[in-house]
Structure 1
Amino acid sequence: MNENIGESNFSEKEKLKHILERNAAIKILRKDRKKDKFAHEPLSPRKKFFLMSFAAVLMANGTHFFKYPNHFVIGGVEGASILLSNSLPLSPAFITLVLNLSLLVLAYFILGKNFVIKTGYVSILNSLTALLLSKIMPHTTPFTDNKLLELFCAVLIPALGSSILFNLSASSGGTDIIAMIINKYTNLNIGKSLLIGDSILTLMSIKMFGAEIGLLSCLGLLMKGLVVNQFIASFNTAKLFLIITSKQEEISVFIRDKLNRSATVIDGTGLYYKKDQSVFLCVTNDYEAALFRKYIREIDPRCFITVLDTSSIIGKGFYSTDLH
């Protein structure tokens, strides 16, 4: 009798401990959830200005320390500047500034004042930073003899800056302006215009700087698109849950009250047993996903769960629907 009472008390203690641990986890989750929510609300003008400035400076550093010394022509205005500087007694940074200012003037008359205001700040800051670095920290030789390592840095650093700008619906100007002008007057889309222009510049580097640099530049051009896409996807990740369960009410309460989320519930029927089931579609962030998965398995061990990695979730509680 006493042994049974002891076992019962032990069981109650374990159950209480489990509840307390889960409540503690939910409190931590709520804090992270709050931070995550604010992170995806529309940015204040001050924060957006800071991020745009950071991205422009970051891109300029990658260009100055890695692209220019190695003569990597990975498309863009910087690539054109490297080619021109080989024939003119001017630095690539100065040529980049002149080209960007010229393109902004052209854009003002063709694409309008609003575009120039939005793009001009990043474009000019990027160019001026690279020019300033060339004066106070001149760097004309590569850091290492490893060309692949230099190429990796030449692609990675500016790609991170480009990804930040993309997430802010901003642009660094340059050849983007040419592509948008071509798009305005022809049926050629912006992506194809950029690819054609960048490819021509990169192929020209083979003749000007030799096969090794030219082929590395071609590799860099391919890497740039992949790396930018990967960065953008990593900024906007979330988990999509597809849950088939008979415990609709319990899971609904947890999603609504504990996660402070919502979901879409669809009535479903099993193909084999013809049983009625509830199908949940619910998107969570990475913080919530582990706890959500654990809870579902506890209350319905027979449920069927599919978890997908997703990106570019647009909607309330995730990413702003204002992309302009």
Structure 2
Amino acid sequence: MKVRKRLNKLNLEKIKIKQMPKFTMQTLINILTVVVGCFIFSIGINSFMIPGNLGEGGIIGVALILFYAFELPTAITMFLVNAVLLVLGFKYLTRFAMYYTILTIPLISIMLWLTESWIVPTDQILIQTVFGGFLVGVGIGLILRIGATTAGTTILAQMANKFFDVGVPFALLVFDLIIVMASLTVLTIEQVLLTVIALYIAMKTMDFIIEGMNPKKAVTIITERPETLGRMINSDIKRGVTIMNGRGFYTKKEKDILYVVINRNQLTKLKRLIKREDENAFVVVHDVNSVLGNYFI
């Protein structure tokens, strides 16, 4: 019995060791990315958004409203609200996202505190709007790129999806709009409209950071010359091609369909190649947000 108990104890210890996350070079890169993202985000808020009396979406928007109304430090407000939301909604995040979110919450507050006096001396509201939105977008984009979150309305959106069957993107949009509209209590209509512009810039910047500098395109090609086009895509564009079997609904004729994922700057070349070899080819181009695996390379 003693031997069996000891073996069971050893097995439990092995399971715990296996469950512990491994610290790898990628983990270090992810942590550094979060640190840089929090730093850039904080510069955008303290150097441009606050001097321009602009609002924001998410919990930082709530923090800015409280700052303008009662001069409460944004660093403290962000930490307290995000910590409460994390406790309430931690089960709606994956384990990976949870680890990095726990790191992100205090880091954002620390960076907001460290850069509190980093104000860019300008009275040009356009500069504050554009660069504020851009830096906020870069910061949040870097954080989201590695799979972390900034807690806040992300958790609220997950909870709305769970209890009210509302899509997460739609819920995020609604929460952000509510917060921006609430900014009217401390901001003018002009400042709120400029805030909307800054949010749009931030959103586009985030998309750019998350998708990468060269978003991919997926191309589906229905052609009478699949073998010829496939070889030319391999040799001229240096991309692998997948051949899928298809059948025309009306003609009932069997056809080979080509499917290829390329860089955006290769799309024009591919179109020229298809047009030269088969003018009657039917081509559909899809946006691709992410490509995984080594087959693309």
Normalising by structure 1, report the TM-score: 0.66
CA distance in 1, matches of 2:92, 2:190: 38
Q: Give yes or no for contact 2:239–2:260 (8 Å, CA) kept in 1.
A: no
Q: Which has the larger radius of gyration?
A: 1
CA distance in 1, matches of 2:201, 2:93: 32
Partner of 1:177: 155
Structure 2 segments unaligned to the other structure (5+ residues): 1-24
Aligned residue identity for 1:240: A
Change (3 A) 1:89 1:285: closer
Change (3 A) 1:68 1:98: farther
Partner of 1:311: 288
Task: Work out which of the residue numbers 20, 45, 61 in structure 2 matches 1:63.
Answer: 45
CA distance in 2, matches of 1:192, 1:268: 37
Change (3 A) 1:207 1:268: same
Query: C-alpha deviations, 1:272-297, integer Å up to 9, x for none?
Result: xxx99854332223576566567667
Identity %: 19
Q: Give yes or no for contact 2:245–2:254 (8 Å, CA) kept in 1.
A: no
Q: Give yes or no for contact 2:57–2:176 (8 Å, CA) kept in 1.
A: yes
Aligned residue identity for 2:242: A
Partner of 2:146: 168
- 1:69-80 alignment runs, 5 A limit: 69-80=51-62
What's the offset of the Cα at 1:171? 0.9
Partner of 2:136: 158
- 1:166-205 alignment runs, 5 A limit: 166-205=144-183
Match of 2:70, SS state, is coil
What's the offset of the Cα at 1:189? 3.6
What's the offset of the Cα at 1:157? 1.5
Partner of 2:66: 84
Aligned residue identity for 1:88: F
Partner of 1:147: 125
Are 1:97 and 2:74 an aligned pair? no
Aligned residue identity for 1:211: I
Normalising by structure 2, report the TM-score: 0.71
- 1:221-232 alignment runs, 5 A limit: 221-229=199-207, 231-232=209-210
Q: Give yes or no for contact 1:100–1:124 (8 Å, CA) kept in 2.
A: no
CA distance in 2, matches of 1:233, 1:293: 23
- 1:1-324 alignment runs, 5 A limit: 44-108=26-90, 111=92, 114=95, 116-134=98-116, 138-139=117-118, 143-229=121-207, 231-233=209-211, 235=213, 237-243=215-221, 247-255=225-233, 259=238, 261-266=240-245, 279-286=257-264, 300=277, 304=281, 306=283, 308=285, 310-317=287-294
Aligned residue identity for 1:186: F
CA distance in 2, matches of 1:113, 1:289: 36
Partner of 2:9: none
Match of 1:172, SS state, is coil
CA distance in 1, matches of 2:244, 2:122: 57
Change (3 A) 1:318 1:155: farther
Q: Give yes or no for contact 1:80–1:201 (8 Å, CA) kept in 2.
A: yes
Match of 2:287, SS state, is strand
CA distance in 2, matches of 1:76, 1:130: 16
RMSD: 3.8
CA distance in 1, matches of 2:100, 2:176: 23
Match of 1:264, SS state, is strand
What's the offset of the Cα at 1:243? 4.4
Change (3 A) 1:317 1:286: farther
CA distance in 2, matches of 1:86, 1:247: 65
